[in-house]
Structure 1
Amino acid sequence: RFSDHPRAVINGIDYSDALGIEGVVEILTADDIPGKRYIGLIKNDWPLMVGVGDTTCYIGDVIAGVIAEDEETARLAVDAIKVEYDILDPIVNTVDALSNEHNVVHAGESTNILSETIIRRGDVDKAKKESVYRSVVTYETQRIEHGFMEPECAVAYVEDNCTKVFSQGQGVYEDRKQIASILDVGIEDVEVYLVSNGGAFGGKEDLSVQGHAALFASKVKRPVKVRLNRQESIAMHPKRHPIWMRYDVGCDINGIIKYVTARFVGDTGAYASVGMKVMERCAGHATGGYHVPSAEIESLAVYTNNIPSGAMRGFGVNQATFGIEGCIDDLCEQGSFDRWQFRYDNALVDGSMTATGQILKGGVGMRATLEAVKEKFNEERTAGIACGVKNTGVGNGMQEFSEVSISLEEKGVVAVKHGWTEMGQGVNTMAVQTLCHETGIDAEMIRVSVDTTSGHDTGMTTASRATSLMCNAIIDACVELKSDISSYGLDQLWGRKYKGKWGVDWTTKSSDLGQPQQTHYSY
């Protein structure tokens, strides 16, 4: 049972009529959660269910769960649950959220600002004086739904005091941690198995139905499936951030960019999700694919009573790219600059600096990419052109790693286990290809699977990092495997297991001002 209002105090929940419907097994509310009620990937501010006395924060808040013999009965019972509210005025935009510090989405908080990222480098005032053309523009981008083919679904059951969950989420190990906290059990008492999820694009990073399925199964000691229909899915899971942005970009008489200032305000919705990281990424890519000697950037993630905003392909970079590219077109129009040439002249090259101040040291292909499209762009009567660059990995001081195991389980089967989510992007295919490339093992022999029993805790499948981290871990495991194949032959190795690991621990936070910036390990 979802909330009827984005912001309302729950005064009462009456499910007596619903419980009397034939086929209803049990009805659970927030009072039935044995462990922690608040969960989250970074900040634990998202309640699995809201209860009497709580204030709802958006229309996707869950008030009660009905367990029934079939879906039709469950939905009939959900409609019979009566909820009494004291309806409040919701905060529906970031302007209102920032204008009144006493009107906060979350009681007990002193502000609606979830996070703030500041980047300052160079001499912007001096650069403004050196600029002949300036583009000062305000842009706004909209909230976007992922539209993955398969809505959220999870199945859970209890076996030998262990809660087992079949999850479609983007991180089975993160699912396990949060489910264990909900159930108030050790992580060894929860096993999560990844199943095909019909697409995700970032929209299945946050725990959605997995926690409810695990809770319900633990209560009734029977297998339980929780599945959202499309309307419920859209109302519940996070979207791409709507962002208000104010850009000020200047260039000299020759079309060389001198500075960028930008302020981003992202509507992160009711709960944190990964909003702080999205807006951090937005700031870190504010100068786009261009070398900019001076920059001042501020980026805020702001709570409202809207549907939460979180991960979606690009993770804040798309919005910043939209803004900087609009300004570049404006400068080109003001100075009568060729749009291709302007971008080429300012494009990142080896030794150039990103928005954060990171010096790129090799493999920068921006100009080569522009050269590849130049002829086609020039021959078209009407054509647009823009450049984009996107990080790989979370970075910003976070340690990232991947572990894999390669088991020669029985003659003819090579089992590969890793911790990443296959959601249509092909990470399992990359695992097979890398193993084949390194060892020459026939692809028909390889089986890839993901579950928490292997112990390969790799975090969320996010930030376009799974391929690089996992493949390097497979390469590491293959060092010994290749040697053994060379020495003994594959037929002599059945029953053996090989492990590999690869990670990154050298990225820096934007606040680490006293050392060279290494914001991301690759782009």
Structure 2
Amino acid sequence: MSTTTGVRAPAGAVGGNALRPDGALKVTGAFAYASDMRWDGMVWGATLRSPHPAARIVRLDTARALALPGVLAVLTHRDVPGRPRYGMKVADQPVLAADRVRHQGEPVALVAADHPETARRALRLIDVEYTPLPALTDPEEALRGAGPLVHEERVDGRRGNIVRHVRIRHGDTAGARRRAEVVVSGVYEVGMQDQAFLGPESGLAVPGEDGGVDMFVSTQWLHDDQRQMCAALGLPPEKVRLTLSGVGGAFGGREDVSVQIHAAMLALHTGRPVKMSYNRQESFFGHVHRHPAKMWFEHGATRAGRLLFVRAKLLFDGGAYTSTSQVVIANGSYFAAGAYEVPHAEIDGYAVFTNNPPCGAMRGFGAVQSCYGVESNLDKLAHALGTDPVELRLRNAMTTGTVLPTGQPVDGPAPAARLLRRLRDRPLPPRPDPAADPFGLPGGQGRTTRGESVHRGVGYALGVKAIGFSGGVDDSSTARVRLSLAGGEPVAEIHTAAAECGQGIVTVQAQIARTELGVERVVVLPADTTAGDAGSSSASRITWMSGGAVQGACKVLREKLTHLGDGPVAAVLAEHGPLEAEFTYRHRRTHPIDDERGQGDAHIAFAFAAHRAVVEVDTELGLVKVVEPATAQDVGKAVNPRAVEGQIEGGSAQGLGLALMEELHVSGGQVRNPSFTDYLIPTIADMPAVPIDLLELPHPDSPYGLNGVGEPPTLSSTPAIANALRAATGLELARVPVRPEDIAEGR
């Protein structure tokens, strides 16, 4: 790693490499994840799911299941005590299917039993008679209005299979097209990627003496889960209490509700603690996935390589229910011009309903798909111009003041060109020596190739994404900090609802308290809903927002300490007792995008990342070895540099997976590979070291000048690898993930 600053803060403070309190536990296998939870008297919950992508439920009989010894309850849609539908943005997803199922894996009934195997046996005894219906599985048909309606009556009052159409018009695209001297177009596709977190969905619901329920669950947003649970259970917030349990990865897949409502229903019905824990196959049906996309791009430029216009049409398959499709397609559309200065833009983004599995949030949130399309078409434009792809990008790279297609100027750091230059100037890795390194060539230790048909390719890509919630959302985060004495030493206790999903927010909060209060001992309390809402651990926002809340509470405490005396903290606390402060942090106001031309100041900040991928490709066998995915990224301020590196490495790995191997295969609405045997993710043999070049250009509006880190590397890594493959093979390769047969058969 290299950075723009050479001096680092002490390990425990902001800017230092603070150790994670959960690090040793996770490495040694001692960390308690949600699936490890136990409670006296606990029973097990299980879910019956539809085998059909579209069907009517003709008959549902639970008698045989209820008669099985050890079964305590079998619940159906008739047993939902509150609102029968839920959803993050639109409550259109049934808690349990009533008369119709709209995708394979839709929940139909619940079982509680004294043993997990008994619960699974009971599921097989529930008699369900289905009448299969024609399934709409082609998103292009959905866009055209062909095929059946997925929702005959939509809860948002609209009709048809289009979830949302985002329309952006900026400048005079028609005039710019007439003036353009070189025009290229392309059609690009992205497969359905899964978040593939290693810890499947799990939760424990404990009935309370007050008629409420305590929920211990792995999630990304405690308070939004609470909101949806309260509605479905018919209970007020004070009777639905959530505590974060150990999260085994998330990446957007835990934003939507999974086990929460179902486990709570069973617990309230039986009066017993109920644990629900999905196995790997069920996990593939129990959460949303990255939207598969088909995208049409057209770029026009002068002979000198100056971009004049972009026209783009994005089609995202949202599956059976809304989830976050409305905002995912918006985010993809807002950044369909990429990290470039394009004076004229015409962008149409569509998300549609189908009877495929529901899709929603995944790391990069729509911008991953459009970045792949933009960066692929720019390489095509560079080839048509006879220009080096890096030079084309440098000539058009965003700067501070660049106006986006949505009409918003970029008012923070915009080091797009600087990132590209740092990668371009980096020495290329040496050619692999098969004798010294059997992993150096495609095929690895299997020695599938001896190098006769191996070609090297180098590809670049640049990504930009908004940080935080956008479009007029009044985003906020609350923190409570308490100072007290323990053994004569001051101790700071931090209480927030920020979800630790592996990104390190617990460590960051402690670093901020040490920096602001000057105390060494810091305790971060478990995240739960008795603290104020922290918002979602998503959109690369949580360090900015919850970090700002903790910093604000600490500053209030500093003012109290100063008012009470100028002595050491311990002396002030000894005289005056414990001190406490609560603070709610809000970022600057944003504004909705208008529906007519897609204009508005919707975003609070932008983050940039670039990748240079070096690949070795056996063009006869179609095998690929990613030799080096070097990256450069502006992070504003590395609050914990080691954690920042981990985020960038992880984002690069998921981008490599999307480029080469990760895809849920869905045929006729049926998922064909719901296991890690058949759904491939990068292993240590696939993932090389990631050289990371960090820039720290402070953002003017954020705590410590920090910026979001986790999502941007996922944007640029996939197209950089795809562009490197094209450079090595000369093939169009217009779809990711690229398969060996795509290369070997010259597709």
What range describes the TM-score normalised by the shorter chain of this pair? over 0.9
Change (3 A) 1:448 1:348: farther
Output the CA distance in 2 between the equivalents of 1:13 and 1:450.
40
Question: What whole-Å deviation, never above 9, does each CA across 1:289-316 have from its counterpart, x for those lacking one?
Answer: 1011000111111000111010000000
TM-superposed deviation, 1:495: 2.3
- Distance, in Å, in 1 between the alignment partners of 2:117 and 2:428 is 59
Q: CA 1:448 to 1:257, structure 2 compared with 1: closer, same or farther past 3 Å?
A: farther
Q: Cα distance, 1:215 vs. partner? A: 0.8
Q: Pick the aligned partner of 1:90 from 135, 139, 144.
A: 135
C-alpha contact 2:168 2:596 (8 A) present in aligned 1: no
Give the aligned partner of residue 558 of structure 2.
482
Cα distance between partner residues in 2 of 1:77 and 1:362 = 58
- Is the 8 Å Cα contact of residues 169 and 346 (structure 2) preserved in structure 1? yes
Shift in CA distance, 394/70, structure 1 to aligned 2, threshold 3 Å: same
Distance 1:512 1:397, change over 3 A: farther
Alignment match, 2:604: 521
User: Deviations for 1:163-212, whole angstroms, at most 9, x for unmatched residues?
Assistant: 10001111110111111111111111110001111000000000010110
What is the percentage of aligned positions where both structures have the same residue? Answer: 33
Deviations 1:402-440 (A, max 9, x none): 111101255254221122211001111111111112222
Paired residues of 2:501 and 2:537 also in contact (CA < 8 A): no
Question: How far apart, in 1, do the equivalents of 2:337 and 2:271 lie?
Answer: 54
| AA partner of residue 370 (structure 1) | L
Moved more, 413-422 or 238-247: 413-422
Match of 1:438 among 482, 495, 516: 516
Residue in structure 2 matched with residue 118 of structure 1 by the alignment:
167
CA distance in 2, matches of 1:377, 1:383: 12
Amino acid at match of 1:459: G
Give the residue type in structure 2 aligned to 1:475: Q
Contact 2:291 2:318 in 1 (8 A): yes
Give distance in 1, aligned partners of 2:359 and 2:567: 54
Report Cα offsets for 1:84-103 as digits up to 9, x if no partner: 01111211121222333672
User: How many Å apart are 1:445 and its aligned residue?
Assistant: 2.9
Question: Map of 1:329-340 to 2, 5 A cutoff?
Answer: 329-340=379-390
Distance in 2 separating the partners of 1:100 and 1:515: 24
Q: Give the 3 Å change call, closer, same or farther, for CA 379–254 of structure 1 in structure 2.
A: farther
Residue of structure 1 aligned with 2:482, choices 395, 407, 411: 407
Structure 2 CA distance for aligned equivalents of residues 103 and 512 of structure 1 = 27
How far apart are the structure 2 equivalents of 1:4 and 1:15? Answer: 17
What is the aligned partner in structure 1 of residue 223 from structure 2? Answer: 173
TM-score (norm 1): 0.96
SS in 2 for 1:367: helix
Give, as a single letter, the amino acid of the residue that structure 1 aligns with 2:75: L
The answer to whether the 8 Å contact 2:318/2:360 transfers is yes
Q: Displacement, 1:446?
A: 2.4
Aligned with 1:60 (options 91, 94, 105): 105
The answer on 1:79 being equivalent to 2:124 is yes
**Residues 365-444 of structure 1 correspond to what in structure 2 (within 5 A)?**
365-376=415-426, 382-408=457-483, 411=486, 413-442=491-520, 444=521
Q: Distance in 1 between matches of 2:295 and 2:260?
A: 35
Of stretches 158-167 and 266-275 in structure 1, the one that deviates more from structure 2 is 158-167
Aligned to 1:50: 97
Distance in structure 1 (CA, Å) of the matches to 2:143 and 2:470: 29
Q: Is the 8 A contact 2:134 2:148 kept in 1?
A: no
- The CA distance in 1 between the partners of 2:179 and 2:295, in whole Å, is 24
Offset, 1:473: 1.6
Alignment of 1:302-317 (within 5 A): 302-317=352-367
Q: 1:63 to 1:515 in 2, by over 3 A?
A: closer
- The two structures have a TM-score, normalised by structure 2, of 0.68
One-letter amino acid of the structure 2 residue matched with residue 61 of structure 1? E
Structure 2 equivalent of residue 209 of structure 1 = 259
In the alignment of these two chains, the number of paired residues is 519
Of 100-109 and 192-201, more deviation after overlay is shown by 100-109
CA contact (8 A) 1:236 1:307 kept: no
Unaligned runs of 5+ in 2: 1-47, 431-455, 607-747
C-alpha distance in 1 between matches for 2:429 and 2:78 = 67
Contact map agreement 1:404 1:473 (CA 8 A) in 2: yes
Stretch deviating more after TM superposition (479-488 or 37-46): 479-488
Q: Whole-Å Cα distance in 2 between the matches of residues 311 and 294 of structure 1?
A: 29
Alignment of 1:507-518 (within 5 A): 507-511=590-594, 517-518=600-601
Local SS of the residue matching 1:248:
strand
